[in-house]
Chains A and B, each alone.
Chain A
Amino acid sequence: MKPLNFEENLLLLRLKRKDPEAFAKLYDLYVTPIYRFIYFKVPTRQDAEDLTSEVFLKIWQYVSETEDIIENLRALLYRSARNLVIDFYRRNANKEIISADQVSFILEDDRQQSLLSQVETKLEMKNIELILRQMKDEYREVIILRFIEELPISEMAKILDKSKGSVRVLLHRALKVAKSLLAKDGKQQSD
């Protein structure tokens, strides 16, 4: 972990000085993880893309202007992404709540995708992804951060603004829910 930390700290310093190359490097390093994190939290791919871009812009502004000491750049990115998703839902509170069944059809932009590929997308999407989307956001978050992004519990605690113990409890419960959803799903399929 130490070499990454050193690189990160160097990157941070350059970002503070508004070095565009540093920004490009940050983007290249984190665009996929941040996109992935946001992807499961929002209904459409378009939303995920838009919000991901917003995250990087926000970070760029924040780092260069803030006086605070930033200890962990990666955690900052995830925290920022999380906050932006919350804002997103606040802004779109008027829109109807999307159910899991409808999700697959919305995932690709209707205007750009043919009906056939939409159907293909639904078939392609594995059960596990559907299950993840069905879960409570709290549980989904910890599963994504732990098993998909593979972050340590200490960092997760920073991102989620919770204690390490709470994070562990959440993970435990999330797995339980996932297991039962999987089992239910399996049963449905065999019927």
Chain B
Amino acid sequence: MENNKVIKEFKNLKNQIYPRPEWVALSRDILLQQISHAAKTPENFHQPKAMDYVVAAAQIFRQSFFQPVVVMLLVFVSILSSSLMINAAFYSLPGEPLYRVKLALEETHLALTPGEEQKVELKIEFAQKRMAELDKVVAQADITPEEKKKKIEVLVREFKNNVSSVSDRLAKINESNKQSVNAAQKELTLKMAVTVEQKAQDLAKSIDEKTSGLEQENIEVKQIVAEAVETAQATSVSAQEIIDEAKAETEIKIEGQIQGVSTPDSEAGDSAGDVATSSDNGTETTQEFVN
């Protein structure tokens, strides 16, 4: 603290020490007189040209090019411009050049997402986006039915892919969970299954509704749409299966627990004990879900 006190005292001197104003003015005049004979001829000096500004700017640019501030600015600008492009891609529809970019960005997003649950949710989100795009495409009045059909095809196919990958992922997660006793993990999977089941149902419904109104389109599209609906429903069903499995498992465990109270040496009792000690919360929450 003492340091600050000393520093403050020094800083105060700044305002107290200054040259005499009369000397400043006098010396200014004298000096200007002394130098003016060197600049007598008008050719020696002139008003700052535009070139001077350019040279001055270039000098600064050269001096400061590698300073952190400039580098940061460049990085920021490049991020900004790429984010503008991303935004443009965001609103694109099939047929537009940026649509592929959009899909690629979605893939990247997926790759960067940690956690299986989030990935599954993201896939569902993508499927929902396809639905929104479908609405937009259907609403487009300025394209021929041929083009519309093509776009819808692309969309529905993508939709189908998204949905089937959801069910694949869910199945994979479930398989890996069967080996582990981790109740928390199982709970997570269960949550996912519930979400997927509901959402897949909604998706199946919505694609059905949207495409039922398309009369101009022909059989090909209808077929793809039917497949998509099927896939969504299948996903919903497999999610339901997972939920049912978990339900059954919990029932067995509850029974085991009840038995375990009277016969602690039995196998069921042991496994019940395991479940009870490893995570009571897991069992309780699973019950909530099931109920």
Chain A interface residues (CB < 8 Å from chain B): 2, 5-6, 9-10, 12-14, 17-21, 23-24, 27-28, 31-32, 35-36, 39-40, 45, 48-49, 52-53, 56-57, 60, 64, 71, 126, 128-129, 132, 143, 147-150, 175, 178-179, 182
Whether A9 touches B56, Cβ cut-off 8 Å, given contacts A132-B10, A148-B13, A179-B6, is: yes
- The CA-CA distance from A182 to B8 in the complex, in Å, is 13
- The CA-CA distance from A26 to B269 in the complex, in Å, is 93
Contact A148 B31 (CB under 8 A): no
Contact A19 B6 (CB under 8 A): no
Contact A24 B28 (CB under 8 A): yes
Least CB distance from B63 to A in Å reads: 7
14 CB-based A-B contacts, threshold 8 Å: A2-B64, A6-B57, A9-B60, A10-B53, A13-B48, A24-B28, A31-B24, A39-B17, A57-B31, A126-B13, A132-B13, A148-B14, A179-B6, A182-B9
Contact A179 B23 (CB under 8 A): no
- The CA-CA distance from A20 to B45 in the complex, in Å, is 8
Least CB distance from A43 to B in Å reads: 15
Write out the residue numbers on chain A whose beta carbons fall within 8 Å of the beta carbon of B28: 24, 27-28, 31
| Chain B residue at minimal CB-CB distance from A53 | B27
Contact B27 A6 (CB under 8 A): no
Least CB distance from B71 to A in Å reads: 15
Least CB distance from A187 to B in Å reads: 15
Contact A23 B48 (CB under 8 A): no
Whether A57 touches B3, Cβ cut-off 8 Å, given contacts A2-B60, A31-B24, is: no
Contact A10 B48 (CB under 8 A): yes
Contact A49 B39 (CB under 8 A): no
Q: Does B66 contact A (CB under 8 A)?
A: no
Write out the residue numbers on chain A whose beta carbons fall within 8 Å of the beta carbon of B13: 126, 128-129, 132, 148
